[in-house]
Amino acid sequence: MLDYKAQEIVNERQLQNLMGELYELTPYFEDESVLNIFTLRNGKIKIDHFTKGQFILDNIVFSRDKVMRIINFLAAMTDCVINPLEYPVLETFIPSYGFRVTAVIKPWELYPQLAIRRPNPRIITLEEYLEAGRISEAHFRQIKEAIKDAKNIVIIGATGSGKTTFANSCIHEQVQLYPTHRYLLIEDNPELRCEAEDVTHILIRHEQVQAARNFALRWCPKHITFGEIRNSIMAEGVLELWNTGHPGNFTTLHANSAKAGFERLTGMIQDPYVKNHIGEYVDLWVYLAHQTVEEVLESESIQNHMKTLKQTISQMNLYGGLYDETHE
């Protein structure tokens, strides 16, 4: 095993190699209005710009070999392994910038490709959401009150909906209220922001969720915020931690509505007790679309809705069965 100094030298060389391959994209890395960068099958580069929209660069073309070198450098730098037979995808980040990177290779995609996503360069306050018309007055007050009362909040939406940006807004609000609390952030890509003086921010791989859980319990934080929940292991790890006397936390989840988020997270859980009592772990479900808060629902409200729906379906089945029997 390399000592710390030797590992630093290796990491620096790997970073130099990586940035050498990416030097043509440096101007776009430095432009804070660039949201996403994609390599295409033909090697061209597509830019997603905040003010200019999407456009393709005609003067830059990456060969397949070049894209694979970039992927290999990223994997080596962040200690990730790509298994082409099981999951030919790399999910990591560019260390010097903190950009989130997803790469796909054969056999899923004949031409290796990259998707580079920039985290929002600044924290947007809840007041700014309100001023911009991206949250209603009622939802604004509801979320502010939930954060003040240390409620657990799941933030839901599609890719690019602004989930992480809004999570950072909630963390900012929490720190303004409780600046001396001890905060722990856990994620697999460096996207969360916390301005508190007493904050620990750890980056883990998917398979390290249980190890991170054990660490968190020994670290004595007041609040534990997770990055995006992607699978059952992460879902159960998050809810286990949220039930250990650490209230006032946030996480994000992909789904099409607040109710769909509730159902998706419930479906990820294997433990029957947790599955049936998810309202004891999560207080509020916030759904965003196009960087706008569309729904804010309490767990009790969703559970009551689902209970009523099940009763209605049960009654329909009962009456349907009686109707069929009388008309045989």
What's the pLDDT tens digit per position in 254-291? 999 999 999 999 999 988 888 888 888 999 999 999 88
Q: Which helix (H) or strand (E) holds 44?
A: strand 44-49
Rounded Cα distance between 137 and 139, Å, is 6
- Looking at the structure, do residues 61 and 10 belong to the same domain, yes or no? yes
- Looking at the structure, do residues 140 and 104 belong to the same domain, yes or no? no
pLDDT confidence bin for 327, thresholds 50/70/90: very low
Q: Is residue 190 part of a domain?
A: yes
Give the model's pLDDT for residue 184.
Answer: 97
Give the model's pLDDT for residue 128.
Answer: 92
Please, what is the Cα angle at 240 between 152 and 216, to 5 degrees?
90
Q: Is residue 203 classed as helix, strand or coil in its secondary structure?
A: strand
Rounded Cα distance between 167 and 64, Å, is 36
Q: Is residue 17 part of a domain?
A: yes
At 33, the amino acid letter reads: S
Task: Identify which has the larger pLDDT, 137 or 232.
Answer: 137
- Looking at the structure, do residues 221 and 81 belong to the same domain, yes or no? no
Q: Is residue 222 classed as helix, strand or coil in its secondary structure?
A: coil
Q: Is residue 328 part of a domain?
A: no
Asked whether the beta carbons of 64 and 112 are under 8 A apart, the reply is yes
For residue 48, what is the domain's CATH number?
Answer: 3.30.450.90
- Looking at the structure, do residues 108 and 138 belong to the same domain, yes or no? no
Q: Is residue 34 classed as helix, strand or coil in its secondary structure?
A: strand
Task: Take residue 39 and report the two structure tokens written for it.
Answer: 């390599």
What average pLDDT does the segment 223-236 reach? 91
Asked whether the beta carbons of 254 and 157 are under 8 A apart, the reply is yes
Last residue of a domain, one of 60, 94, 117: 117
What average pLDDT does the segment 158-172 reach? 92
Last residue of a domain, one of 54, 82, 117: 117
The proportion of the chain whose per-residue pLDDT surpasses 70, expressed as a percent, equals 91
For residue 251, what is the domain's CATH number?
Answer: 3.40.50.300
- Answer yes or no: is pLDDT of 196 > 90: yes
Q: Is residue 326 part of a domain?
A: no
Task: Identify which has the larger pLDDT, 245 or 252.
Answer: 252
The H-assigned helical ranges of 178-231 are 209-219
- Looking at the structure, do residues 189 and 281 belong to the same domain, yes or no? yes
Last residue of a domain, one of 64, 93, 117: 117
Give the model's pLDDT for residue 201.
Answer: 96
Q: Is residue 165 part of a domain?
A: yes
- Looking at the structure, do residues 11 and 45 belong to the same domain, yes or no? yes
Asked whether the beta carbons of 161 and 288 are under 8 A apart, the reply is yes
- Looking at the structure, do residues 43 and 137 belong to the same domain, yes or no? no
Give the model's pLDDT for residue 305.
Answer: 59
- Looking at the structure, do residues 43 and 80 belong to the same domain, yes or no? yes
Give the model's pLDDT for residue 51.
Answer: 77
- Looking at the structure, do residues 45 and 149 belong to the same domain, yes or no? no
Give the model's pLDDT for residue 321.
Answer: 54
What average pLDDT does the segment 77-92 reach? 87
Q: Is residue 307 part of a domain?
A: no
- Looking at the structure, do residues 94 and 146 belong to the same domain, yes or no? no
Rounded Cα distance between 266 and 221, Å, is 26
Give the model's pLDDT for residue 325.
Answer: 45
Domain count, the chain: 2
Q: Is residue 268 classed as helix, strand or coil in its secondary structure?
A: helix
- Looking at the structure, do residues 104 and 144 belong to the same domain, yes or no? no
- Looking at the structure, do residues 197 and 265 belong to the same domain, yes or no? yes
Domain residues for the domain of 235 are: 126-301
pLDDT confidence bin for 314, thresholds 50/70/90: low
Q: Is residue 276 part of a domain?
A: yes
Give the model's pLDDT for residue 322.
Answer: 46
Q: Which residues contact 217 (CB under 8 A, 6 or more apart)?
A: 241, 244
- Residue 120, number of CB atoms within 10 A of its CB: 17
What average pLDDT does the segment 186-197 reach? 91
Q: Is residue 100 part of a domain?
A: yes
